[in-house]
Amino acid sequence: MSKDDKKQSIQPTRREFLATSGAVAGAAALGMDPGIANAAKRHPKRGGTVRFATRSDARGLDPHRNILYYVSSPLAATTAGLLDFDENMNLKPGLAESYDISKDLKTYTFKLRKGAEYHNGQTIDADSIKWNIERIKDPKIGHAFTRSAITDVERVTVDDKYTVQIHLKNPSAIFAANVMYYPINMMAPGGADTADTNPQGCGPFKFKSWKRFDTTEMVRFENFWETDADGNALPYLDGVIGKPKKEDRVRLTALRTGEVDLIDNMAYADMGDFKKNYSNDFNTWEVSQVGTGYVSFNLKNGPFSPKDNPNAHMLRLAAAHAIDHEGIHQAIFHGQGSIAESFYYKSSPWHSSNVKPWPEYDPDKAKSLLKKAGGSDVKILLVARDAYPYMHQTGEIVHSMLQEAGFNISFEIHPNPVLRAKYKKGDFNMDSSANSYRMDPDAWYARAFHSQSPTNKTRYGYENEKVDQLITAAKVELDNDKRRQMYADIDSIINTDVPLIYTHYIPLLEAGTKKLKGYKPAFPGPFQYTQGGLRTSWIDTTT
C-alpha cells in the first residue's frame, strides 16, 4: 500500500468498509455463524501462554469504569467494540459487520454480526449494545475519558435484533472511530453486577483472575468470532498472563532472565544497546509514536494569559525560544524517536509536512523577548505528572532551560489527582505532559483547542476563532485530504500562537522472546487488532 493509498483509507466509506468484511458477509449469507463458520479449523502452530510485563496495572476490572489502555493494559485483550482496526489503524469490522451514515451525518446505523457472544455466553445483539452505550454515558459509571468519546450521542435505538442506530446531537463525519474497542468496550449486560470482580467482555481472551500489581490471567475465548486469512480460529494462544512491573529495568531483567516472554517498553537509555547487542536473542518492535509530548501554558490566568498580561504572547514566545528540542531528544530520549513538529508523526496517515514550524531554539532571542515582556521577575510554576518518566524528565530539563534564559521558574511533580485539582484552580503556569495517539484527529484537536471544549477550558484556556472554525468544519468533512490540511492549518496556528509547544514523539521499544511467533504491534503500539498482534501469536516450544 502506498502512502497516499493509506491516507485515503483512514475513514472508510460504506463501500470500502463492506469490502473489508466481505468474507464475513459471505459466511452469513450461507446461513453460517460468521464468527464460527470455520471454528473447526485450528492453526497448526497455535498454543502457549504469553507472560506479558507492562508498565502499569488496571485500577479496576469494570471496562466502563476504568481505562483499559490498548498498549500497556493486558486486560484490553478481553475487550472488543463495534469496530476494530488493523495494523495501520484503519477502521475494520468488529462486532458490527458494516455501518451506514445518514445524509445529515447525525445517524449511524450499525449492522451487527450474527452469532457473536459475550464471554458469559450471552448473545451480542442490538439491545446489549444499546445498554452498553447508555451505561457508559452515565456519569456515575462511565470513566470521563471513555464518556468523552460518546458525549455527542443523543440517543440509541434498536431497529431489530442485529441493527442498532446511534443518533448524534450534531453532524459528524468521524464518529465511527469513536466506537472501536478503545475506548468503547462492550461487556455482557448480565455480568454488570460482577464487573468489578469478574468482567464478562467479548474480546479474544476471557478473564480468569486478577491479583492487583501482581498477575492478571486470561484464557482464550473459544467462541471469539474472528478467523485469520486462512479461516483458522483466533486467537492462537491458550492464554495471556499480565505481569505489571513499573520499573523499566525490572521489566527488562525479567525478559532477559526468562521470567516473562514480552515487555511493552524499556528505558530509552537501554534501547540502543539492546538493539545492538541482544537482537540475536530477542525480537524487538519499534513503535515510533505511542503519543506526543508537549509543554503547555495556562492561558486562563497568570503571566501567560492575555486576560492578565498584555505581553502574554511575547512571554510565551520567549519560553518557546528557550527550549532546546535537540537537547530534550538526546538527554531524555537518548536519541530514540523523533522531535515533534505537530501532533502526528510522519508514519501516521494524518501527518502533514505542510505545517509552519514552532519557534526555533534561540536562547539570545529568548532573553531579549523575556526582558522586553517584563517577565524576568514574574514567578512561573511548571508542573508535571509523576507516573510517566518522560513527562517529569522533560519538565526538569525545560525548567533548567528557562532558568538559563532568565525566567524565575520553579518545578513541581505531582500525582494525577493533585494535578487535576491544580488544573481546575488554575494553580500552575506551565505543564509538561503528553497525549496518546488518536486514531482520528478530532479526538485531539477538538478536545485540546476548541474554545468550548471542557478539557481546553480546564487546562489551557486557549481561544482562537479560526481554530474553532477549522475544528467544526473538519468534523463534517468527508474528504480526508481536505481534513488533513485543516488540521495542518490548525497546527500552524498553534505553532504561532503558542498555547503549547510540541516537544517529542513518544517512542516505545517492545521486546520478546524468540519463542513468541507471529507477533507485531500496530504502529502506535496496540498489542491486539484485526488479524494481528496477540491474536495471531503463538509460543514455539521447539526453539
> How many structural domains does the chain have?
2
Could you tell me if residue 402 is inside a domain?
A: yes
According to the model, what pLDDT value does residue 541 have? 86
Could you tell me if residue 283 is inside a domain?
A: no
Written as nine digits, the cell of 121 is 455466553
Residues 464 and 533 in one domain: no
Is the model's pLDDT at 2 over the cut of 90? no
Residues 276 and 285: their CA atoms lie apart, in Å, by 13
Residues 35 and 175 in one domain: yes
Q: What is the CATH number of the domain that holds 317?
A: 3.10.105.10
CB neighbour list of residue 451: distance below 8 Å, 6 or more residues apart: 457, 462, 463, 464, 465, 467, 468
Residues 443 and 460 in one domain: yes
Lowest mean pLDDT segment, chosen from 106-115, 316-325, 452-461: 452-461
Residues 318 and 402 in one domain: yes
Residues 71 and 177 in one domain: yes
CB neighbour list of residue 15: distance below 8 Å, 6 or more residues apart: none
Written as nine digits, the cell of 274 is 539492546
Could you tell me if residue 259 is inside a domain?
A: no
Is the model's pLDDT at 169 over the cut of 60? yes
Could you tell me if residue 47 is inside a domain?
A: yes
Residues 309 and 204 in one domain: no
Could you tell me if residue 314 is inside a domain?
A: yes
Residues 325 and 469 in one domain: yes
pLDDT (tens digit, 9 = 90+) per residue, 293-318?
Answer: 999 999 999 999 999 999 999 999 99
Could you tell me if residue 258 is inside a domain?
A: no
Could you tell me if residue 496 is inside a domain?
A: yes
According to the model, what pLDDT value does residue 503 have? 98
Could you tell me if residue 221 is inside a domain?
A: yes
Q: What is the pTM of this model?
A: 0.86
Q: Is 518 left (phi over 0), alpha (psi -120 to 50) or beta?
A: left
Percent of the chain topping pLDDT 70: 92
Residues 223 and 361 in one domain: no
Residue in 541, 540, 543, 538 with CA at minimum distance from that of residue 235: 538
Q: What angle do CA 297, 299, 304 make, to 5 degrees?
A: 70
Written as nine digits, the cell of 383 is 508542573
pLDDT (tens digit, 9 = 90+) per residue, 371-383?
Answer: 999 999 999 999 9
Question: Could you say which DSSP state residue 90 is in?
Answer: -
Residues 99 and 231 in one domain: yes
Q: What is the CATH number of the domain that holds 134?
A: 3.40.190.10
Confidence band, pLDDT 50/70/90 cuts, at residue 29: very low
Mean pLDDT (whole number) for 144-162? 94
Written as nine digits, the cell of 507 is 517512542
Residues 222 and 310 in one domain: no
According to the model, what pLDDT value does residue 377 have? 92
Is the model's pLDDT at 227 over the cut of 50? yes
Residues 234 and 302 in one domain: no
Residues 110 and 165 in one domain: yes
pLDDT (tens digit, 9 = 90+) per residue, 31-74?
Answer: 333 444 444 477 778 899 999 999 989 889 999 999 999 999 99
Confidence band, pLDDT 50/70/90 cuts, at residue 107: very high
Q: Provide the residue range defining the domain that includes 350.
A: 289-506
